[in-house]
Chains A and B, each alone.
Chain A
Amino acid sequence: MARQTSPQRKLIVTLIAWIIGILMFWPILWTILTSFKTEQDAVLMPQLFSTGWTFENFGIVQERSDYLRFAMNSVILAFGSTLLGLVFAIPAAWSMAFSPSKRTKDTLLWMLSTKMMPPVGALLPIYLIFKDYHWIDQHIPVLVIMFMLNLPLVIWMLFTYFKEIPVDILEASRMDGAGVWQELTRVLAPMALPGIASTFLLNVILAWNEAFWTLKLTDVHAAPLTVFIASYSSPEGLFWAKLSAASTMAIAPILILGWFSQKQLVRGLTFGAVK
């Protein structure tokens, strides 16, 4: 039986949803608006809208630091670590979903438990290793750290997707004469692709926004956009408008990507893996 909802109730729920939505979006909205203000306007805190809108912050930011290099590094680290993650996670999640052993459940929990430790707990040893091997500010070592960081989550997400594929269908394809390769390409891949796609997107976003490790382990050469933002936060005192412009430039690509892949993302987020 469908639940009855009175118009008042609907109105209240809608209002609450809007308020929560606006509250959550508020920092981003503030940042974007501030990035178009002059520094003088930006510090006038209670005033949301500016008297004179300007693009000059973006120009100054681009002039002072090379946005494109940071953006390129973000792309390399986010997409690279995610792709590398999938290479390892797909077979791992696959075997756990389709031929689980007695230890599969424990293994999965163990992997998740690594996400429970605060990253700062591993900072010192990893930093020292990086320092001794001269890995700091090198693309590949940082990429590997980010790959390992998100690997448990990627495996978990894929595992829940693969779990949804009925074993009967795989057996049917075996009865129908499909070999391992055909089973993979003709039957499994088409069914698993939506799950892999949303895992990919979510992980790219997480890796794009990852700041803890990138701030500690990169400097200039391999630094992604998180470092680019941070560089505007203190050295010359706080310049709100320029910091906002830098932040807006940093989040814009991922916001646009998120916007275009909304459908996949929502499916991924509501699937049970990461709620």
Chain B
Amino acid sequence: MSRIELKAVRKDFGNLGVINGVDLDILDGGFTVFVGPSGCGKSTLLRLIAGLEDLTSGQVLIDGRDVTELGPAQRELAMVFQSYALYPHMSVRNNIGFPLKMAKQPEDMIEAKVRKAAETLNLTAYLDRRPGQLSGGQRQRVAIGRAIVREPKAFLFDEPLSNLDAALRVQMRLEIMQLHKSLGATMVYVTHDQVEAMTMADRIVVLNQGRIEQVGSPLELYDHPKTLFVAGFIGSPKMNFISGSVAARYGAATIGIRPEHIQLGVSDGGFTGTIRIAEHLGSDTFIHAESPELGSITVRATGNIEASPGTALALGFEPSRVHRFDAQGVALK
């Protein structure tokens, strides 16, 4: 368990600034998720914490100790990679035990710890297999096992579920959250998937172009996005953005309204539209409509709704649900 602090962290690759001055406090025992579009620097930031990349400037502190100049192993962190990064020539047992062997722990202690980790992760039956003989989910569990046995100060996950299929991803997501609960360890998790971020995190750090856009709990980000970028990135389907005269009516350059906050069949004071396409998910219906006043707009309606293309719609929303942004894309109070 430990607290990780980043102070004015910068990372340049050549002339290109990948991380442009990040200050962040990662709380002890929390589950922090870095999220952002590809190329936003989230993986680089994680690698800077891990010590796999050198900082251009700034400091990384773990439990108050400056580790900026320390190598990956001395930072006592464990990392789980997207590609699993298992040692292909070693059995599962040796893969999990490898960090302990490197730390020169006695054989019987290694065996006991490997056994315990394997039990936690349902890997006991596979201890003598090679990674090549395991499925994707099992491989990722081995990688997690290799991380747990070290009892690290914090766990770093670099898009660990991206290589798994959808069903397995949901299952592994739950397993990792369960693990976080039972170990009570500090975890930092990188993903480009905002659903993963929303479901797993205590705290989300939204990154864009090497800068932090906003830090907060999932619901804080959902309810009070500070910028247009965060508003558009968090939530699915994406928030509708409307500018022009409708926005001006709210005293903003742009207003945002989430698809789930648009009501259908509101006739007075509302807007009109025509259905372009409807996606039926069973539990929800996503209606993509064209409105003369609002432009292209997405509506999320609960349940399965009869909606055929070309049908006219009456739309409305409560003013309290409107997010207002100025011309720079910053939220207005």
Interfacial residues, chain A to chain B (CB-CB below 8 A): 166, 168-169, 171-178, 182, 186-187, 190-191
Contact = CB atoms under 8 A, between A and B. Distances in A.
Nearest to B80: A172
Contacts of A174: 52, 71-73
B102 interface: yes
A186 B95 CA distance: 11
B87 interface: yes
B102 A175 contact: no
Nearest to A193: B89
B97 to A, nearest CB: 10
B103 interface: yes
Given A166-B83, A171-B72, A171-B81, A176 B98 contact: yes
Nearest to B147: A175
Given A176-B98, A176-B146, A177-B103, A171 B73 contact: no
Residue in A166, A171, A172 with the greatest tally of chain B CB atoms within 10 Å: A172
Given A177-B73, A177-B103, A178-B102, A172 B81 contact: yes
Given A172-B79, A172-B81, A174-B72, A190 B89 contact: yes
A186 B97 CA distance: 13
Nearest to A170: B85
A172 B146 CA distance: 10
Majority SS of interface residues in chain B?
A: loop
B200 interface: no
Contacts of B87: 169, 172-173, 187
B50 interface: yes
A173 B72 CA distance: 10
Given A176-B73, A178-B102, A171 B89 contact: no
27 contacts: A168-B81, A169-B86, A171-B52, A171-B79, A171-B81, A172-B79, A172-B81, A172-B87, A173-B87, A173-B98, A174-B52, A174-B71, A174-B72, A174-B73, A175-B50, A175-B72, A175-B73, A175-B77, A175-B79, A175-B99, A176-B99, A176-B150, A177-B150, A178-B102, A186-B98, A190-B89, A191-B88
Nearest to A172: B85
A191 B86 CA distance: 12
Contacts of A166: 83, 85
Contacts of B45: none
Nearest to A174: B72
Contacts of A173: 87, 98
Nearest to A167: B85
Nearest to A166: B83
B290 to A, nearest CB: 41
Top-3 shortest CB links A-B: A168-B85, A177-B102, A176-B99
B212 interface: no
Residue in A166, A171, A173, A178 with the greatest tally of chain B CB atoms within 10 Å: A171
